[in-house]
Amino acid sequence: MPPLCKKGKGKALIVSEFLTETHGHLTITPAKINELNLSPTFPQEACIIVKPGKNDDGWWNASDMLMQVSNKAIPIFAQTSRLHDGWFINEQGEQVTQPMIFPNDLPLDDDNYIFRDQPKGIQQVLCEHKLWPNSGLRLKCNKNYCDPSVLNCCAHHLLSA
């Protein structure tokens, strides 16, 4: 490895970016923004480039990161992840879509009303398929592997079975 060079008089850049496993850079296209009837001012990418220094953008701090997460990353992720529901095969061998977001039009008396338009968790998905035991489940086994003979040792194993 070559030695580090001395700091020069050049400019520095800070790139604060969000990457997802399925899509890479966290972005949304202008076409998708139009299709979803979002505001024209809706952010197209979560990336922020900062030129730090007293004569440029100032210094990157926690409030800048919070602004990026709340005003860019979360809104983009909420719109793009909503497009990817899961699916399962039912007892009749049919492929059935599993919505991963609570519907926005839940009635006021629904137990999940407070979660409308938010992502569902593993427990909720398993409950909808009557697979969540009354005694509950761990998210993941303490062991490095699950015993294939025990179907409900953990939620991860139950979902992969």
Q: Is residue 3 part of a domain?
A: no
Predicted structure pTM score? 0.48
How far is the C-alpha of 135 from the C-alpha of 131, rounded, in Å?
11
Reference 129, options 82, 161, 88, 95; nearest CA is 88
Q: Is residue 99 part of a domain?
A: no
Q: Is residue 49 part of a domain?
A: yes
Q: Is 112 in contact with 106 (CB distance < 8 Å)?
A: yes
Q: Is residue 109 part of a domain?
A: no
Total of domains in the chain: 1
Q: Is residue 141 part of a domain?
A: no
**Cβ-Cβ contacts under 8 Å for 118 (sequence gap 6 or more):** 101, 102
| pLDDT value of position 83 | 42
Q: Is residue 7 part of a domain?
A: no
Q: Is residue 57 part of a domain?
A: yes
| pLDDT value of position 22 | 60
How far is the C-alpha of 97 from the C-alpha of 82, rounded, in Å?
13
User: 3-state class of 119 per DSSP?
Assistant: strand
Would you call 134 exposed, middle or buried from its count of C-beta atoms within 10 A (0-12, 13-18, 19+)? exposed
Q: Is residue 125 part of a domain?
A: no
Residue-range definition of the domain harbouring residue 42: 14-81
Q: What does pLDDT average to in each consecutive run of 10 residues of the chain (161 residues)?
A: 73 86 81 91 94 85 88 84 59 77 91 89 84 86 73 75 56
> How would DSSP label each residue in 144-160?
SS--TT-TTSBHHHHHH
How far is the C-alpha of 52 from the C-alpha of 103, rounded, in Å?
43
